[in-house]
Amino acid sequence: VIDRDRLLERIETLGAIGRDPEGRLSRIAATDADKAGRDQLVRWLTDAGLEIIVDRIGNIFGAWRPDRCRHAAPLMLGSHIDTVVDAGQLDGAYGVLAALEVIEALKAGGAPVSRPVMVGAFTNEEGARFSPDMMGSLVYAGGLSPDAALGSRDRDGVTLGADLARIGYAGTAEPGFARPHAFVELHIEQGPVLEREGAAIGVVENLQGISWRRITISGMANHAGTTPMSMRSDAGLAAALVTTFVHQQAKAIGPRSVATVGALKLEPNVINVIPSRATLTVDLRDPDEAKLRRAEAGLAAMLARTAGEHGLRIETERLARFEPVAFDPDLCNLIETLATERGLTTRRMTSGAGHDAQMMARLCPTAMIFVPSRDGISHNPREHTDPGELAAGAQLLLDVAASLIGA
Ligand code: HGY
Ligand code: MN
Ligand code: MN
């Protein structure tokens, strides 16, 4: 069985690592804060007697390879331990630490297992500093070359490769070095559905498509007082028009379409200067690929119109684009059956958030287990799941793992 107290204690311990000067939890990929979290994880993996493997993109793996089945395709569990800025302590970390508990329980259980079990902590799942997000698992699954990923730059021009080397996690193993028999990721829902419906477990059948872009709007700085409204090339106005457009468009496209302008910078950012430049990001998502394409096309047309009407130059850079992913039906059925056997209510659902599982689904049968998020809140320090729900999710992951390796 899962050591519930140790899991909860490790979540708290890891959750205290990587606070920024304002005291916010911000283990941004390949920063010193991320290193501190990585080092703590490696200590726990080592203490558990696992083989530590770090690949070229900095993905960390702990492997339990019993001699009797050493060369069989491994069952892989895991998630990520990097976070957004001012994060909660469960997003990602919960899935990694629960996976470690599962392996420790399987080892202690002593059952003759039919395949190795690995836990992975993938680099830069959040994409808060380097794009695209889910980068480590994307590289592991062969969707992006290690060199291209290592060459990705943050807004200060620092490459991921340079910082992974700096923090001591520029590994040597080739990403994709082990093709898993299956991949299962346990994660908090980060949305309101399970709590609203009183379900204990989310059986995630699919994951929506994601489209990220950075838009740079160039206008002309001018005097806020002397420039008539009809003579302005106001980049700040255009940024506001884009934000309201993508919101209205998402509502028009359908109830499952979402749009977010998460980052916005105005230059020169002075009260009495008409902004000469606006840089903003747009995150569009939809479980239906055709609708996501419609949202992208609608935005592109709006940008062309806006540039013409307001005398602006508008450039778009694509940061990430992932099509919707369907998870493995047999794994979903197994999760649902085992949850029901534990007396847990289940709800089949789509993931609104991106996850490493969507990349691993390119490599092997993959599925996800969700536990409820209080008030549906995530990417926020108020992120919370009750201890009993966290333990139930970890126990279910153990049941699924045991079933998949014949323990
Ligand atoms: O953006 C996402 O959905 C994930 O948290 N990286
Ligand atoms: Mn996550
Ligand atoms: Mn996240």
DSSP letters of 307-353?
A: HHHHT-EEEEEEEEEE--EEPPHHHHHHHHHHHHHTT--EEEEEESS
Q: What is the largest CA-CA distance in the chain?
A: 81
pLDDT score of 200: 98
d(CA 122, CA 356): 7
Nearest CA to ligand 1 atom 2: 354
Test site for ligand 1: of 126, 130, 319, most ligand atoms within 8 A of the Cβ: 126
Pairing mode, strands 346-351 and 117-121:
unpaired
Q: Which ligand is nearest to the CA of 212?
A: 1
Minimum-distance ligand 1 atom for the alpha carbon of 134: 6
Test site for ligand 1: of 134, 135, 383, most ligand atoms within 8 A of the Cβ: 134
pLDDT score of 407: 86
Handedness of CA 139, 144, 145, 146 (dihedral sign): negative
- The answer for 78, left when phi > 0, alpha when psi is -120 to 50, beta otherwise, is left
Give the orientation angle of helix 329-341 with respect to helix 387-404, to 10 degrees: 120
pLDDT score of 128: 96
d(CA 225, CA 362): 56
Q: Report whether 56 contacts 63 (CB < 8 A).
A: no
* Closest C-alpha among 162, 145, 144 to residue 153: 162
Structure tokens at 110: 């002593």
Q: Other CB atoms closer than 10 Å to residue 198's CB: what's the count?
A: 9
Q: Which ligand is nearest to the CA of 354?
A: 1
Test site for ligand 1: of 133, 138, 319, 356, most ligand atoms within 8 A of the Cβ: 133
The 10 Å CB-count burial string (b at 16+, else e) for 67-78 is: eebeeeebbbbb
CA angle 36, 154, 59 (to 5 degrees): 45
Cα of 251 to ligand 3 centre, how many Å?
Answer: 23
Q: Find out whether the beta carbon of 126 lies less than 6 Å from any atom of ligand 1.
A: yes
Handedness of CA 99, 341, 74, 183 (dihedral sign): negative
Q: Which ligand is nearest to the CA of 379?
A: 3
From first to last of its 407 residues, the chain has per-residue pLDDT tens of 999 999 999 999 999 999 989 999 999 999 999 999 999 999 999 999 999 999 999 999 999 999 999 999 999 999 999 999 999 999 999 999 999 999 999 999 998 899 999 999 999 999 999 999 999 999 999 999 999 999 999 999 999 999 999 999 999 999 999 999 999 999 999 999 999 999 999 999 999 999 999 999 999 999 999 999 999 999 999 999 999 999 999 999 999 999 999 999 999 999 999 999 999 999 999 999 999 999 999 999 999 999 999 999 999 999 999 999 999 999 999 999 999 999 999 999 999 999 999 999 999 999 999 999 999 999 999 999 999 999 999 999 999 999 999 98
Cα of 87 to ligand 2 centre, how many Å?
Answer: 11
Residue 178, Cβ density class (10 Å: 0-12 exposed, 13-18 middle, ≥19 buried): buried
* Closest C-alpha among 80, 349, 353 to residue 206: 349
Structure tokens at 307: 């540039």
Average per-residue pLDDT for the chain:
97
pLDDT score of 304: 98
* Closest C-alpha among 32, 30, 8, 29 to residue 18: 32
Q: Find out whether the beta carbon of 354 lies less than 6 Å from any atom of ligand 1.
A: yes
Nearest CA to ligand 1 atom 4: 354
The string of DSSP codes covering 235-302 is HHHHHHHHHHHHHHHHHHH-TT-EEE---EEEES--TTB--SEEEEEEEEEESSHHHHHHHHHHHHHH
Q: Find out whether the beta carbon of 296 lies less than 6 Å from any atom of ligand 1.
A: no
Q: Find out whether the beta carbon of 127 lies less than 6 Å from any atom of ligand 1.
A: yes
Give the CB-side neighbour count of residue 351, counting CA atoms within 13 A: 30
pLDDT score of 283: 98
Cα of 187 to ligand 2 centre, how many Å?
Answer: 7
Q: Other CB atoms closer than 10 Å to residue 308's CB: what's the count?
A: 10
